[in-house]
């Protein structure tokens, strides 16, 4: 889970405030830019061993699962209510 103490969150806040993520002219999300930012953060960790790479890769999987659980599933539940459930 991506939960850290409030003091550390406050340390990171100004960094995220400086990053502007805006949709492209065609309305698409700039997923290439997001990929670049995440990759740069991972490389900044300077992994030196399989254990390092494995830990970072596992962390990405946890991020993916948590994003699905907290954001995507909520969106899908709203759409089920709006449009009906395909499984019923």
pLDDT at 2 over 90: no
DSSP code of residue 26: T
| Residue 79: predicted pLDDT | 97
Contacts of residue 33, Cβ cutoff 8 Å, sequence gap at least 6: 21
* Predicted pLDDT of residue 53: 96
- What is the pTM assigned to this prediction? 0.79
Matching residue, tokens 């103490």? 5
Question: So what's the pLDDT on residue 1?
Answer: 57
| The pLDDT of residue 18 is above 70 | yes
């Amino acid at each position: 889970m991506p939960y850290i103490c409030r003091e550390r969150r406050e340390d990171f806040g100004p960094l995220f405030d400086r990053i502007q993520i805006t949709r492209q002219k065609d309305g698409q999300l700039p997923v290439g830019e997001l990929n670049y930012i995440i990759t740069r953060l991972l490389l900044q960790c300077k992994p030196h061993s399989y254990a390092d790479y494995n830990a970072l890769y596992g962390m990405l999987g946890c991020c993916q699962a948590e994003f699905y659980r907290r954001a995507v599933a909520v969106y899908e539940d709203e759409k089920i209510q709006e449009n009906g459930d395909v499984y019923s």
